[in-house]
Amino acid sequence: MVRTRIAPSPTGSDVHVGSIATALMNYAWAKKNNGQFIIRIEDTDRTRIVEGGEAQMLKTLKRIGLVADESPIVGGPYAPYRQSERLDIYKKYAEELVAKGKAYYCICTPERLTKMRNEQQTKKQIPKYDRLCLKKQDQISKIKDQTPHVIRLQIPEGQIKFNDAVRGEITIDAKNIDDQVILKSDGFPTYHLGVVIDDYLMKITHVIRGEEWLPSTPKHVILYRAFGWELPVFAHISLLRNPDKSKLSKRKNPVWTSYYLDQGIFPEALLNYLALMGWSHPEGKDIFSLEEYIRVFDIKDIQTSSPVFDPVKLEWMNGMYIRQKSIRQLADQILEFYKDKKLDEALVEKSIPLIQERIKKLSDYLTLCEFFFKAPEKYEIDITDKKDFFGKVHSELEKVADWKALAIGESLANLAKKLEIKNSQFFADMRMVITGKKISPPLNESMEILGKNECLKRLTIN
């Protein structure tokens, strides 16, 4: 059975959008093959853990709909696998490698290691552990229980070859690889040991992950072979870039997934956009559902070029999703998005035909439509010197009996003509007094929705 996973480390305050792109491929590949997708929290680097990071990550993954098919608590509430709860397992396997002569204990102090590294650097050598302890294993095994120690993997000589489903065959000369620490003195495994043991025990068949892990993979391959385990399929995908091709980082654009969701980007639109990062729909489509993606996605079609994550395009795509909604559906989403504001439901529904084509995310709604719910408290352009003008408009509009956009528009256009004011100026002033803004939904229609009394009230400015 195909089993995939994502293995985030809670070292950030939320899930990076690039990790969602990776998670999505893993999720899709599992679903496509009637397999299973799991979530494993890799929390073994205790110094880098961000408090609350794990809870936030799980919340975001759930919000976006990428939920795991399995939990270590059978029959209980959902929980992810957590490496910090599996320390006994890593220790047992690390010791097994020592017993097999594939790994060894090391009691070197940090001071000695620093000194050794400095000397190697002065001699312009690649810094590598000099295997001092390897020669003293008999001695060390007698005192190790009373002495702080780590376990190191003994990197074998020769070439390491493996296949990557995206990048093809990869060959690395092992002579440049240091004897990695696989179990730390605090009993925690390092990433390499934890990831290999868990991917094996959790029966992961396909490891789809970011290319930043490619340099680690030869070490993993050595570990798989040392244990005598079969390799999973590796697929290393390219990292997301900013539109200027720089690495996606917080400095240029927001990278946290909840930032986009909180702005009212729909989870399905974000997934749709991220699906296009490093993969294209076989028919060249931009907009497709998750079900369709699962149907047509194939690991072999993952591209190696660096995908560009452009928030402007993401918003454009979300706008397409907004347009596909019925008025009722969009109203529900807007009401839910702004639930603290307790917006008038009927008014929201009436306003939608005026803005559905214009907004790109839910948070655009009130920027455009706040004036429906309350009169402007300030105006983007000062109109205090136009009291007389608005007085004239007031008298004219009072006469409109049938308060409909068409009649309102005609009455305003007639007045503009009579006063010899250019239409553009006339309507800009009207827009300002009614909405407080230079940009608004179509004015006559908005005035119809606001009602005659409210419009006349807004024309009386102080």
Question: Which residue type is seen at 71?
Answer: S
Which listed residue (4, 7, 337, 434) binds ligand GLU by CB under 6 A? 7
Q: With CB under 6 A as the contact rule, which of the stretches 7-15, 334-342, 382-390, 410-418 interacts with ligand GLU?
A: 7-15
Alpha-carbon distance 90 to 136, whole Å?
Answer: 23
Catalytically annotated residue among 135, 250, 387, 418 = 250
Draw the binding track, 140-179, toward ligand GLU (x: CB under 6 A; -: no contact).
----------------------------------------
Window of 4-12, 113-121, 357-365, 444-452 that interacts with ligand GLU by CB under 6 A: 4-12
* Residue 144 annotated in active site: no
Rule CB under 6 A: is residue 445 a binding residue for ligand GLU? no
The least distance separating ligand GLU from the CB of residue 309, rounded to whole angstroms, comes to 17
Q: What are phi and psi of 173, to 5 degrees?
A: -85, 125
Distance (Å, whole) CA 433 – CA 379: 7
Q: CA 259, CA 16: separation in Å to the nearest integer?
A: 10
Candidate ranges 5-13, 108-116, 149-157, 251-259; the one touching ligand GLU (CB under 6 A): 5-13
Token pair of 269 as six digits: 């639109």
Of 189 and 436, CB closest to ligand GLU: 189
217 vs 444 by CB, closer to ligand GLU: 217
Q: How far is the CB of 93 from ligand GLU (least distance, A)?
A: 17
Closest CB to ligand GLU among residues 8, 278: 8
d(CA 165, CA 168): 6
Question: What is the helix (H) or strand (E) element at residue 202, kind and residue range?
Answer: none
319 to 358: interface string for ligand GLU, x by CB under 6 A: ----------------------------------------
Among 8, 80, 267, 441, binds ligand GLU (CB under 6 A): 8
> Would you say 50 and 9 are in contact if contact means Cβ atoms under 8 Å apart?
no
Nearer to ligand GLU, 224 or 373 (CB): 224
Considering only the stretches 3-11, 224-232, 300-308, 323-331, report the one whose residues sit in contact with ligand GLU under the rule CB under 6 A: 3-11
Stretch of 1-9, 25-33, 59-67, 338-346 lying at the interface with ligand GLU (CB under 6 A) = 1-9
Verify binding: residue 9, ligand GLU, rule CB under 6 A.
yes
d(CA 235, CA 162): 11
> Exposure string (b/e) for 240-260, b if CB count within 10 Å is 16 or more?
bbbeeeeebeeeebebbbbeb
Dihedral, 259, 264, 269, 274 alpha carbons, nearest 10: -10
Quick note: the x/- pattern for ligand GLU over 27-56, rule CB under 6 A, is ---------------x--------------
Q: Which of 213, 288, 390, 427 binds ligand GLU (CB under 6 A)?
A: 213
Q: Which is nearer to ligand GLU, 9 or 440 (CB)?
A: 9
- DSSP letter at 318 equals H
Instruction: Output the smallest distance, CB 5 to ligand GLU, in A.
Output: 7
CB of 135 to ligand GLU, least distance (A): 33
E strand residue ranges, 18-107 = 36-41, 81-82, 103-106
């068949």: which residue's tokens? 205
- CB distance 239 to 181 below 8 Å: no
Q: Which long-range contacts (CB under 8 A, 24 or more apart) does 240-245 make?
A: 240/17, 240/18, 240/21, 240/277, 240/306, 240/307, 240/308, 240/309, 241/306, 241/307, 241/308, 241/309, 242/308, 242/309, 243/308, 243/310, 243/312, 245/306, 245/308
Distance in angstroms (rounded) separating the CA atoms of residues 41 and 16 = 15
Q: Quick one: 7 or 133, whose CB is closer to ligand GLU?
A: 7
Contact predicate 335/365, CB 8 Å: no
Using CB under 6 A as the binding rule, whether residue 209 contacts ligand GLU is answered as yes
Judged by the rule CB under 6 A, the positions of this chain that interact with ligand GLU are 7-9, 42, 195, 209, 213
Q: Annotated catalytic sites, by residue?
A: 250
